[in-house]
């Protein structure tokens, strides 16, 4: 439970901003705003929108092939239960969304904006789902794509891919690991090998991933993170 303390949020957020400041990879002004009001929070709760990452080199496998400039708008909301129960999911309200703008950039400027969106949802249990709904799952699409002309592209809301929940720290780690080529951006390897960065990520893992992955332990007693909830395809 200590990993959820505001002391660690303040300490880790301050250190992360210090570590990434030299790389100039995005607009993290909202994180500085959050850092400035940590002491006024009741608990480890926050709402972040439009934390922006910039990428100016092609991401392999993207279509159209000529895309070479990207902006990733990261939104993350964490609201926790007032009373901690080690056998229940501590997250009361949750949002994790990546809205991505991509361009074919030339010396004459940026071309048409191509949009993409991924969000990591928390399944709210109500009636029996029509399709598999892992407790937390990645889901392509979202409101960011509403009203767009899809042309010849078919977009499906399924499958929902199981994934543990992520806060900003794990989200940051996810973004630099999946969208920034370590060959093109040396800071990725430098950051991952930095001891202080590792401490921050490991503490976030302890908060959110350790209870989740215990679902695969035969001695698990968690009521929300059970193997049938986080990975419903698994037949007991």
- For residue 160, pLDDT over 50 is answered with yes
Averaged confidence pLDDT in the chain:
86
Q: Name the nearest CA neighbour of 211 among 31, 82, 80.
A: 80
What is the pLDDT, as a whole number, of residue 210? 93
pLDDT digits (tens, 9 = 90+) for 14-23: 999 999 998 9
pLDDT digits (tens, 9 = 90+) for 65-84: 888 999 999 999 999 888 88
52 neighbors 73 (Cβ within 8 angstroms)? yes
DSSP-assigned letters across all residues of 134-160:
-SEEEEE--GGGTT---TT--------
What global pTM score does this model have? 0.85
Cα–Cα distance, 136 to 230 (Å, whole number): 7
Question: Residue 187, class by beta-carbon neighbours within 10 Å (0-12 exposed, 13-18 middle, 19+ buried)?
Answer: middle
* CA 216 from centroid of its chain's CA atoms: 22
Assign 151 a pLDDT band (cuts: 50, 70, 90). Answer: very low
């Amino acid at each position: 439970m200590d990993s959820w303390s505001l002391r660690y949020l303040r300490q880790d957020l301050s250190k992360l901003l210090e570590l990434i400041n030299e790389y100039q990879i995005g607009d993290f002004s909202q994180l500085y705003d959050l850092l400035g009001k940590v002491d006024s929070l009741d608990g480890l709760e926050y709402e972040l929108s439009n934390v922006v990452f910039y990428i100016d080199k092609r991401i392999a496998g993207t279509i159209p092939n000529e895309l070479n400039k990207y902006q990733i708008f990261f939104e993350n909301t964490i609201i926790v239960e007032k009373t901690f129960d080690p056998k229940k999911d501590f997250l009361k309200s949750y949002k994790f969304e990546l809205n991505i703008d991509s361009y074919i950039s030339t010396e004459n400027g940026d071309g048409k904006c191509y949009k993409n969106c991924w969000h990591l949802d928390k399944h709210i249990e109500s009636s029996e789902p029509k399709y598999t709904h892992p407790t937390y799952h990645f889901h392509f699409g979202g409101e960011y794509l509403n009203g767009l002309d899809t042309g010849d592209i078919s977009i499906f809301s399924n499958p929902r891919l199981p994934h543990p929940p992520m806060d900003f720290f794990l989200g940051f780690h996810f973004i630099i690991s999946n969208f920034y080529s370590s060959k093109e951006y040396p800071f990725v390897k430098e950051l991952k090998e930095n001891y202080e960065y590792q401490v921050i990520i490991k503490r976030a893992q302890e908060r959110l991933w350790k209870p989740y992955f215990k679902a695969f332990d035969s001695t698990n007693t968690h009521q929300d993170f059970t193997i049938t909830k986080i990975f419903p395809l698994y037949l007991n």
